[in-house]
Amino acid sequence: MSLRSWNKDPFPNQAVHGVQDVVYNAGRIRYPIVVHLSYLENGPKAERESRGAGDFVKVSWDTALDLVAKEITRLQDKEGPWAIYSGTYGWQSSGLPTTRRPCSRS
């Protein structure tokens, strides 16, 4: 299998060639996992002292998405929308910076 940019893209990004290596990499986690069984049973009220000491527990995609959605909702309700960082730290995913605005001095 190979990937290529859309033939009508006026500015094709060469980073697309590295995507295949990421998707099919042998080190990729293929299933959602939760590191602590207590978190599955008790959510954010799970004991904090033993975090990281438990086994990984394989869960369904639906369970994983529910856990993430509930935690995002909980954080927003408790701390406000600023508690969730939805940006990037620079070059991510498609290889584009977080903003397309040119860098310039004011």
The residues annotated as belonging to the active site are 89, 91
Give the integer Cα–Cα distance in Å for 46 and 26: 32
**Which pair of tokens denotes residue 12?**
């094709």
User: How many beta carbons lie within 10 A of that of residue 36, not counting itself?
Assistant: 19
Contact between 42 and 70 (Cβ < 8 Å) = no
